[in-house]
Structure 1
Amino acid sequence: MDAVLARMRALDQRLPAHDGVAVFNRVYLTVTETLHHRIAGGTFPHPRRAEALTVRFADRYLTAVEAATAGHRTPACWRPLFQYRRHPGVRPLQYALAGINAHIGHDLALAVVATCRALDCAPGALEGDFDQVGDTLVALEERIREDLMPGPDLLQIADPLTHLVGAWSLERARDGAWAGARLLWNLRGLPDLAEEFAESLDAGVGLVSRCLLTPTG
């Protein structure tokens, strides 16, 4: 966990403040620090499992950023954020939600399966930790929206933004991630089908992220 936090903090120092990836990284750094404190404080019933899931989850995002930085192909779910990260018509809240959508909608399901393989357990064994991670994200989502939403003087201008962000739900994305993880786990003996499903999930989540990044400015 300390290594993951160090990588996020290094990104925060390196990226320009208004870069879309930097906006999401600041949000995710706060989430990961909160999870770290809660795991260390004994909030999670199985700290080892919770930390393993959190680390594998974060690593998928960090690996995608490193691939984009090196000019390599990235998962479809992350491409819209990397492509629009400096667009003058995209607002900070859109960057934050597009990153959360990519990470929850796609990465979380794969992280659950990877953790189950590493710990030799079925997804059901991680359900309590999965729910607590999700509850932490949901609790922080409202604060993120409040911090990054334009002020009252921009409400008229921000009507399209209000429509966009109101159409997306972290709780629905989390439920979808759990269903996706269970399906991938059940397909582990059918690697071709599992890969096909994972690619379809990646593409679908990427499409939602692209919609969330529709320029509104």
Structure 2
Amino acid sequence: MTSVRERTASVTLDAAAGRMRALACELPGRDGVAVFTSVYLAVTDEVRQQLAAGGFADRTATAGLSADFAGRFLAAVDDAAAGRRPPACWRPLFQARRHRGVHPLQFALAGINAHIGYDLPLAVVATCRALRREPEDVEGDYERVGDLLVRLEERIREQLMPGPDLLDVADPLTHLAGAWSLERARDAAWAAARVLWRLRGLPEVGEEFSVRLDQSVGLVSRCLLVPLRGRFDD
């Protein structure tokens, strides 16, 4: 069986965007994976535009990191489709993707949590290894991408929060959405990447840290996907 790294190594950012666009069209709009894919596609397109405009100090590293990052989500999609077990952080989203008691905003946040919390630290380390960079060399562009994500997250919350006619179910949703922070998740991801980088000479310890990180991020995703009372309409 090929590793995630082997399956993501040949993914380009343009190819990843094309694959996500196809997924968003193929899947039912209410499907939780489709919801996250649409969100992620918007982020990917924005990064591609910024790359083309010279918006990053190290274009090679940012393009490589973004492609590796996207490839990890697509590998999880492939695992689920093939009946393999995706990483623990992704399993709650794939398991709950058709639950009628879960709001689209929850799907979006759970996907972002899984991708930022687990995939991103691994992508940072893999990219630094491949390009012979230190994490500090890519930190500035990491923060630039993070700023872009924060702006997009604000738009996502505005678009996916239910309107006034659903206030009876929106109240617990508001509390749940407010309990998770993209900024804190980004900070934790960077700290995890630095730890993994320091542990690269201790592969067994690094692997154990990665497994525990995967499990803990998955636990947060499961909490974000708790079905709320009532039934959400399309």
- Pair 1:145-2:157 in alignment: yes
The counterpart of 2:97, out of the listed 69, 76, 85, is 85
Distance (whole Å) between structure 2 residues aligned to residue 148 and residue 68 of structure 1? 25
Pair 1:186-2:198 in alignment = yes
SS of residue paired to 1:21: helix
Instruction: Find the counterpart in structure 2 of residue 136 from structure 1.
Output: 148
> Deviations for 1:128-182, whole angstroms, at most 9, x for unmatched residues?
1111111111110010000000112212322111111100000000000000000
Structure 2 residue identity aligned to 1:22: A
1:209 has 2:221 as partner: yes
- Residue 68 (str. 1) matches residue 80 (str. 2): yes
CA-to-aligned-CA distance 1:65-103 (integer Å, 9 cap, x gap): 010011101100000000000000000000000000000
Q: Aligned AA for 1:47?
A: R
Does the residue aligned with 2:200 lie in a helix, a strand or coil?
A: coil
Residue 73 of structure 2 is aligned to residue 94 of structure 1: no
After superposition, what is the alpha-carbon deviation per residue over 1:85-129, rounded to whole angstroms, capped at 9, x for unaligned?
000000000000000000001100000000001101110011011
Residue by residue over 1:17-44, the C-alpha shift from the partner in whole angstroms, topping out at 9 and shown as x without a partner, is 1100000000000000000000110111
> Following TM superposition, by how much is the alpha carbon of 1:10 offset from its aligned partner in structure 2, in angstroms?
1.4
In the alignment, structure 1 residue 196 sits paired with structure 2 residue 208: yes
Q: Distance in 2 between matches of 1:47 and 1:34?
A: 14
Matches within 5 A, 1:32-43: 32-43=44-55
Q: Number of paired residues? A: 217
Distance 2:165 2:22 in 1: 35
Length-normalised TM-score, structure 1: 0.99
Identity of aligned residues (%): 65
RMSD between superposed Cα atoms in Å: 0.7
Consecutive aligned runs of 4 or more in structure 1 exceeding 4 Å deviation: none
User: In the alignment, residue 35 of structure 2 is paired with which amino acid?
Assistant: V
Residue of structure 1 equivalent to 2:189: 177
Partners of 2:153 and 2:34 in 1: CA distance: 17
User: In the alignment, what sits opposite 2:30?
Assistant: 18
TM-score by length of 2: 0.91
